[in-house]
Amino acid sequence: MVGGRARARCPRQLADDPEAWTEQPLADPAAESVRFIARALARALAGQGLSLRAAAAGSGVNRQAIADLLAGRSWPDVATVARLAAFTRVHLWPESPGCFRNEDH
């Protein structure tokens, strides 16, 4: 399996405080990527006044999949992130692992 045992736990479980998982950098680069994507998506949805239902209808991504991504309960695939980025017209991808040491862009 790609990602090995690290993906046996969801991204938020790799945070020191799972309840505040989007607010703290994560040591695992894959989980940190998901955190970056979740933060960017949450800002995009809030900024555009979009509900999960509207985002699901517009992007073709299941509403529960979006909720799980935002909550850090899942490892989103490339197609999911690409569809959400296209729908929101917001860059959701981290630029590089080096950007994680700075505040999210």
21-63 confidence digits (pLDDT tens): 999 999 999 999 999 999 999 999 999 999 999 999 999 999 9
Q: What is the pTM of this model?
A: 0.85
Q: Does residue 18 form part of some domain? A: no
> Per the domain annotation, does 89 fall within a domain?
yes
Q: Which two tokens stand for residue 21?
A: 């998982």
Instruction: State both tokens at 91.
Output: 């860059």
87 part of a folded domain: yes
Q: Count how many residues are written for the chain.
A: 105
Looking at the structure of the chain, the number of domains it has is 1
Q: Which domain holds residue 49?
A: 26-93
CATH assignment of the domain containing 41: 1.10.260.40
6 assigned to some structural domain = no
